[in-house]
Amino acid sequence: MPKKAGPVVGVGVAVIKGGSVLIIRRAHPPRAGSWSLPGGKQHLGETVLEAAARELAEETGLTEVDWLGLADVVDLMDRDEAGALRFHYTVMDFAARWRCGEPLAGDDAAEVTWAGPEDYDRYDLTPLVRQVIAKSLRLAVGSL
């Protein structure tokens, strides 16, 4: 009997600096060209926090943040015109506070920037990304 494929585990990181969050413009599919949080797939043998730290470093160059905890778990599913599932990621999003360093686009990121709430529409951030950012900001304020 063939084995059924399940969701892919992914990680995301909402790095908070004051009232802003670090976002990246994706360089590759899925969602190439769109703005989102840094993140990607968890590798076999690494914890989700190790995956989050690796993805953050690969995509932004940031290696020193204060980890605040798990902000949210979201499912990202994409279907074609006929309704067939193209991909399904279950993403564990972590909140972190910026400590030092200037982010630079690397790996799967075409650009990086700090964005405040007044910028979310301009960067066309999805409702799920905005939800994760809001939860991360609450964690950041609660940890002061």
Q: Are 98 and 20 in contact (CB under 8 A)?
A: no
CA angle 19, 63, 69 (to 5 degrees): 55
Tell me whether strands 20-26 and 35-36 are parallel, antiparallel or unpaired: antiparallel
Q: Which of 46, 50, 64, 111 is catalytic?
A: 111
Angstrom distance (rounded) from CA 67 to CA 127: 23
Beta carbons of 37 and 23 less than 8 angstroms apart: yes
118 is annotated as an active-site residue:
no
Active-site positions read 111
